[in-house]
Structure formats: structure tokens, C-alpha cells
Amino acid sequence: MVTTHNLGFPRIGAKRELKFALETYWKGQSTRDELKATGKALRARHWEHQAKLDFAPVGDFAFYDQVLDMSFTLGNLPERVRGFHGDRLDNYFRVARGRSAHGAQEHSACCGGVAAGEMTKWFDTNYHYIVPEFDASTNFSLDPSRLIEQLAEARVLGVKARPVIIGPVTYLWLGKAKDDSDRLALLPRLLPVYAALLDYFTAQGVEWVQIDEPALVTELEPAWREAFVTAYDALSARRVRVLLATYFGPLKDNLQLACQLPVDGLHIDAVNARDEVALVAAQLPDSTVLSVGAINGRNIWKTDLNAALEWLEPLYRSLGDRLWIAPSCSLLHTPVDLDSEQKLDAEIKSWLAFALQKLDELSVLAGALNNGRASVADALEANAAAIENRRASPRVHNPAVKAAIARIDAALGKRASAYPLRAEKQAAILNLPPFPTTTIGSFPQTGEIRHARSQFKAGALDHTGYKAAMEREITRAVKEQEALGLDVLVHGEAERNDMVEYFGEQLDGYAFSQFGWVQSYGSRCVKPPILFGDISRPKAITVEWTQYAQSQTTRPMKGMLTGPVTILNWSFVRDDQPRSVSCYQLALAIREEVLDLEKAGVRVIQIDEAALREGLPLRKSHWNEYLQWAVESFRITANGVKDETQIHTHMCYSEFNDIIASIADMDADVITIETSRSDMELLDAFDHFNYPNEIGPGVYDIHSPNIPGEDHIVQLMKKAAERIPAERLWVNPDCGLKTRAWEEVIPALRNMVAAAKTLRQGA
């Protein structure tokens, strides 16, 4: 019999129960016991959903983050939280977010306030984890309580439990040594703790443990590869059986290494690395289980089950009981239940599978392998019909869009003249002072804005009423900016709920779920729009709002758009064509918007590419290919304008060292970036690379309620001027201001404008 299992289940809850329970607790409006009870109930429900599987994961549930859980299990707490006298869970939240619940703060006086742990992206997903902190003196000590407790719960419920932990090498790989010491040197101290944990599992009657080592799908230095050998040799004497799990891509040059490790089973990502299945099957020792991730754990599309069986059946014939099947990775990255969707178009819905539906698919595959396809004929037939319907649907395919894609050539993404000439023409029209000031686009999303939007959505406010409400907000934003004396104004983005969803909603080829939430970090979830078909723009999206805003002022009004790469990277994207093609389609659609804005007299247009860097592939050797089409997509969007039109772009980071040439290649006239928190240190990239165009390094940390002082801003800009010629510098905040309040924004921008004036005197 083939064994079915799952690497992890989304823990936030189908109705985001965990999110609400956490936030209520943090506000001090519920007790710790109530929060714990919600966690327990969610775990029980999620195991029930996985009851049909041969193994269900235990320990995949986390109140905040699975990596932080592992840090606590390994006793690796940052020094700054060690003296905490309160509850363990409260200390956990202190590391996660700098503070625990409202009422649990009584210890902040005796044990000191803390800085939150650093957060970073989990491989190439949009999930963020808390980075483990190390230094040369880090010691580990086992705290198995969380796992023991959850195993006990599972036992009571009769769950076929398999604990899941992050492996020792990946754990070190994910962390950071604060003193720049070699974190691999900690491995000998770490391994005994893992050994003791595995022995705990044995004592609990556990047969199999899942050890996640996704670092194996990345490019590893020899020392890291060596660490895998050391680690698994050391753990091989433990009695519990080990399933080593890899996911998020092919093993490539680590394939042989992975196959040789002394473990009892190896899980590979057969969605992203189908061609490695046969290689791995041939190389694994005869007694080792091969687990194939045959269902995409990261998207929302139905699996073509018949196609999967075409390769699974022969594999099963040769491996027999040694074959296990599962989703490719933890289902953490998918929404929970498609059945909750009441408003989704029925045809599009028939093409989709969320976590629960993916587990059903797994059962069908297992049924077909164990008892023949005939035993699940109905399910296979329904699946085939849905796959065929999607493949052939006129809603997916738009010949005009495909024809436009075929016509793309290098000229499309090229400005008429080079930057120096454009800059002259733009200066003549815009007539801006040195150190021009601007903002990144959004102004505070006030209660009135949110109220008008929800009334409009609910039908209580008609279109005219809604438009009037938004225009009032735009007028207010324009007046405030004029009063502040900003040079290039924005309309404030009042009408936008979200910078990607807003554009998706007005493009053909997009669908939206009601409950398609995925965890981004902690209690934060995102609901990515679904890009299912060829993309086109039925009509202008932002032109009216921008024109209205321009009519309120004689200063230049910047048109604000989200760029194609960012729209792509923050969506669930169709899997029936390369991502590059979907990106080019978005590029052509947003290009039309750019040209319409230009036609309407807008002289400055900003195209945000907040997520360009996020899309970088896991392996550096694949970066070039991505950067090539991502940059070309931006160029197609932006570069059809006249020399006189000034193109801005914005990115929410400034780690440009390794991609600066590509950023320059985008050829935007002005780029605004996030730099204030790093004290301009991130401008290092510009030391060795002569960035040719204009730059606005952020001088106002919009993530903090603090108001930057004028002197501070002047200092920051002077630092920037050491690296970038002053005549090419702009003065602006790090990012949009929508999460801030007007009371904070006004004094901050007042200081910013004052700083620019001071700088001009020195210029």
C-alpha cells in the first residue's frame, strides 16, 4: 500500500480564528488560557481534516512562527529575554513582536523591554519567520514541552501522529550570528540536543519523525554540505525513524548528498523537480522510503490527477510500499477550504483546490495506486473534466493578448532618449528646485475612508456618494501637501484598499476569493488575488482620480501605479504558462494605463515595484533569467512615454548590492527607496556602482510612530550626498503613509520640507 501523509497544515484557521484570538489576547482582552484553548481546538480540527491520511503532522502548529517554536525547543533564546519571570508563552511573544499581551506587561519593568526578533522571508515564499540569533557562545538545551504536549493531545484524539521539526543544518542556515562568528561551529553543540529530542519521541512511542531540511534545495558551500553528513551520521543511531523532508525546488547538485544521508525516508518536491524523481529512486538505498510531493502545496490549482498517475503508477510498481505520497511542501502557503467560497464564479471555482481539496486529491491518488483507477473512476473523471474545461476555457485564453505578447520586441521597452537628455527636458517643464520633495503615494487611510469603502461595498453608499467621499479625501491630501510646500504631489490613494488588489480588480483575467487567506507573519494574513487568465485592461483605471487631483493644484501631480512584477509576485499565478508570460501580459496592460495618464497631461508617473526583489529565485544561478524578464516587464510598462514624462519607481528596500545593475537597467528617471533605518548604510551599493539616474533615499521611517527631526533628515541627506551627486537626489519618506495618522504625518513632512530648504541653501 502507498502511504499518504502531509508535511504541515495551515494553522491560522479557515476563518482566521488564530489571528483574532492572538490579537484579542495581545490587546489584553482575553486570557492566556483562552488563547491556548483556541490553539488546541484548531489543532484538533486540523487533525480531523487529516484523519484519512496515514500520518498527520504534529508540531506544525505555531502561535506565531514555526522557526521561533524551534528556537524555544532548542533553548536558543536571545540573551535579552532570558531573565523574564513571566509565562513562557508571553516570553515567546516578546521575542516575536517585542512585547506580549497588554496585561502581561507587568514584567517589562523587572525584566526590561525587548527588541523584537528580526523577521525575514521563508525561502521564496511570502511567509516570514523570526530569525534565530547566534553568537560564538550560544548553547542549546532541550525543551520538548511543546511537542510532548501536542503529541499527548494527538494521542487522546487517536491521530496517527508524526512530529515535525526543523533539521539542525537548516536551523543554523536560517539564523544569523550576531558577532559574525561561524554558526556552523555550533553544530557539535546542537546535535546532542537533537539526539535527546529524538529519544524523547521514541519514549513517547513515536515511530516516524519528519525533519525538514529545505536548505538542501539551495546552493550550498562545501562546509554546509559537509554539515549534513556530520549531522545525520550523528543522529543515525537514534531509534525513531527519520523522514528527511526537502521542498521548494530541485535538489540538483545536492541530490547525491541527500540520497546518501543515513535516514529512513526522503521527501522530495516532485512538482518543481519531477525529473529528479527517477534519479532519486535509482540512488536511494533499497530500504529507504521515497516520499514524493505530487501535489503543489503552494498554489491553488487542481492537480491533473490522471497526468500524475502516469508517472506515479510505474514508480509504485517498482517501489511498492516504499512509496509515500504527499503535497510538495507544507500547506501553510494555501488557504484552507474552497468550499467556504460563496461568491467565486462557479467555473473558476471548479479549477481550484485549497488545502482540504488538496488532501482529497491525495486520497484519490492513493486510491488509484492501491486499488486501481477504476476504484476512483468518478473522482478521476470529474478531475479530468475540470482540467479540460480550464485548459480550453475562452475565459483563460484571449487571442488578442497572445498576439500582443508575440509582437513584443526590444524597442517596446526603450525610452526615446538616454537619461541625460530626458532629464534636461523634464527639468524645463517641471521646474523643480534642487533636493525636490515628494511622498511615496498613500496618505493616511482614515476612519472616514474605510467607512465609505465598506458602505459602498455593502451597497449602502452609491457610486456618486462614494466618489464624492473619495474626492473629499483627495482634496484634503492635496491641500495638506500644498500647505506643507511639497514639490511633487500625490493624490493619496484613498480609493485603494490594497496596491495589488486594486489593480487586479480592474483587470480581466483576475478573480478574488472571500476567504483565501494565507499567513504572512504572526497574525498577519494576505489574500492574494487569483490570476487565472490572459490579462487585459478593459478601461482606464486611475486616470479620473489623477485628473481630479491635478485639477486641485497647479503643482505637478504624480500618477501612481503598481508595476507588473509586484502585481505578479503578490498574486496566486496560473500554472499553465511561464510566470514570465503572465508578467509580460501585466506589463502590456499597465503600459496602456501609463500612456493614458500621459495623454491626460500627467507629467510624472510612479510605477511601484515593491516586490521585485522578493521574486528572486532561491538559487543564485537562476537570478539572471528572472531579472531579465522582470526588468524587461517594467521597461515595457514604463518606457513608452515621451522624454518629457518623468518616470519614478519605488522599492520598499535598498539591498541592491547584488542587483544594482538590473535596477539601473529599468531606466526609471527617479527611484525612491527605503533607507532611513539603516542610516543610509544600505547606500553602499552605490559606492561601487555609478547609478546613472535620480534617487530618493527615504529619510522618514514610516514603520515607526516617531517624527524625524529636521537636523536628522539633513544629516541623512548629507550622508547620501557622499555617494550620489546632490543634483540627482530627492527628499522623501521610506514608503507610503497609509498606516500612519495625519497627526504624525504632518509634522514629519514639515520637518522634511524644512530640511530640503536647508539643504538647498548649502547646495
Binding annotation for L-methionine: 440-442, 493, 608
- DSSP assignments along 408-420, one per residue: --GGGG--SS-HH
For 56, 157, 215, the CA distances from 43, given in Å and listed in that order, are 11, 10, 27
Residue-wise burial string across 125-139, b where 16 or more C-beta atoms lie within 10 A, e elsewhere = bbbbbbbbbbeeebe
Q: Nearer Cβ to Zn ion, position 309 or 652?
A: 652
Distance from C-alpha of 257 to C-alpha of 729, rounded to nearest angstrom: 50
Residue 705 in grid coordinates: 510612530
- What is the gyration radius of the CA atoms in the chain, in angstroms? 27
Q: How far is the CB of 745 from ligand GLN (least distance, A)?
A: 12
Cα-flanking dihedrals φ and ψ of residue 201, to 5°?
-60, -45
322 versus 613: smaller Cβ distance to Zn ion: 613
748 binds ligand GLN (CB under 6 A): no
The partner in contact with residue 412, picked from Zn ion, ligand GLN, none with C-beta cut-offs of 5 to 8 angstroms by kind, is none
Question: Helix, strand or coil for residue 657?
Answer: coil
Distance spanning both ends of the chain, measured CA to CA: 77
User: Residue 554 contacts by C-beta under 8 Å, 6 or more apart in sequence?
Assistant: none
Q: Work out the number of other CB atoms within 10 angstroms of the CB of residue 111.
A: 17
| Other beta carbons within 10 Å of 454 | 11
Given candidates 8, 132, 413, 441, which one binds ligand GLN under the rule CB under 6 A?
441
Shortest spacing between CB 738 and ligand GLN, in angstroms: 5
Spell out where 370-516 has E strands: 508-511
Find the part of the chain contacting ligand GLN (CB under 6 A) among 56-64, 437-445, 579-587, 743-751: 437-445
C-alpha torsion sign, points 372, 375, 377, 380: negative
d(CA 697, CA 683): 8
User: Does 698 interact with ligand GLN (rule: CB under 6 A)?
Assistant: no
Q: Is 604 one of the binding residues for ligand GLN (CB under 6 A)? A: no
Residue found under cell 508517472:
311
Residues that bind Zn ion (CB under 5 A): 610, 652, 735
Can residue 637 be called a binding residue for ligand GLN (CB under 6 A)? no
* Among ligand GLN, Zn ion, none, partner that 738 touches (CB below 5 to 8 angstroms by kind): ligand GLN
Long-range contacts of the stretch 747-753 (C-beta < 8 A, 24+): 747/707, 748/700, 748/707, 748/708, 749/439, 749/481, 749/484, 749/486, 749/700, 750/484, 751/707, 751/708, 751/709, 751/710, 751/713, 752/437, 752/699, 752/700, 752/708, 752/713, 753/437, 753/484, 753/485, 753/486
Q: Any contact of residue 537 with ligand GLN (CB under 6 A)?
A: no
Catalytic annotation present for 463: no
Which of the residues 538 through 597 are near ligand GLN (CB under 6 A)? 560
Does 610 sit near ligand GLN (CB under 6 A)? yes
For Zn ion, give the closer residue by CB, 94 or 491: 491
Asked if residue 663 binds ligand GLN (CB under 6 A), the reply is no
Nearest approach in angstroms of CB 650 to ligand GLN is: 5
| CB contact at 8 A, 700 and 676 | yes
What x/- string results for residues 449 through 488 when contact with ligand GLN is judged by CB under 6 A? ----------------------------------------
CB 610, min distance to Zn ion, A: 5
Q: Which of 650, 664, 698, 700 binds ligand GLN (CB under 6 A)?
A: 650
Q: Which of 102, 397, 622, 703 is catalytic?
A: 703
The binding site for 5-methyltetrahydropteroyltri-L-glutamate comprises: 16-19, 121, 126, 524-525, 570, 614
Closest residue to ligand GLN: CB criterion: 736
Q: Is 244 in the site for ligand GLN (CB under 6 A)?
A: no
User: Minimal distance in Å, beta carbon 426 to ligand GLN?
Assistant: 21
Q: Which does 441 bind (CB under 5 to 8 A by kind): Zn ion, ligand GLN, none?
A: ligand GLN
Residue 256 · residue 244 · CB < 8 Å: no
Q: How far is the CB of 59 from Zn ion (least distance, A)?
A: 35
Q: Are 306 and 380 in contact (CB under 8 A)?
A: yes
Shortest Å distance, C-beta 762 to ligand GLN: 29
Write out the binding residues: 16-19, 121, 126, 440-442, 493, 524-525, 570, 608, 614, 650, 652, 665, 674, 735
Taking the least distance from each CB to ligand GLN, the nearer of 292 and 440 is 440
- Residues of this chain that bind ligand GLN (CB under 6 A): 440-442, 493, 499, 560, 608, 610, 650, 652, 735-736, 738
> Annotated active-site positions, please?
703
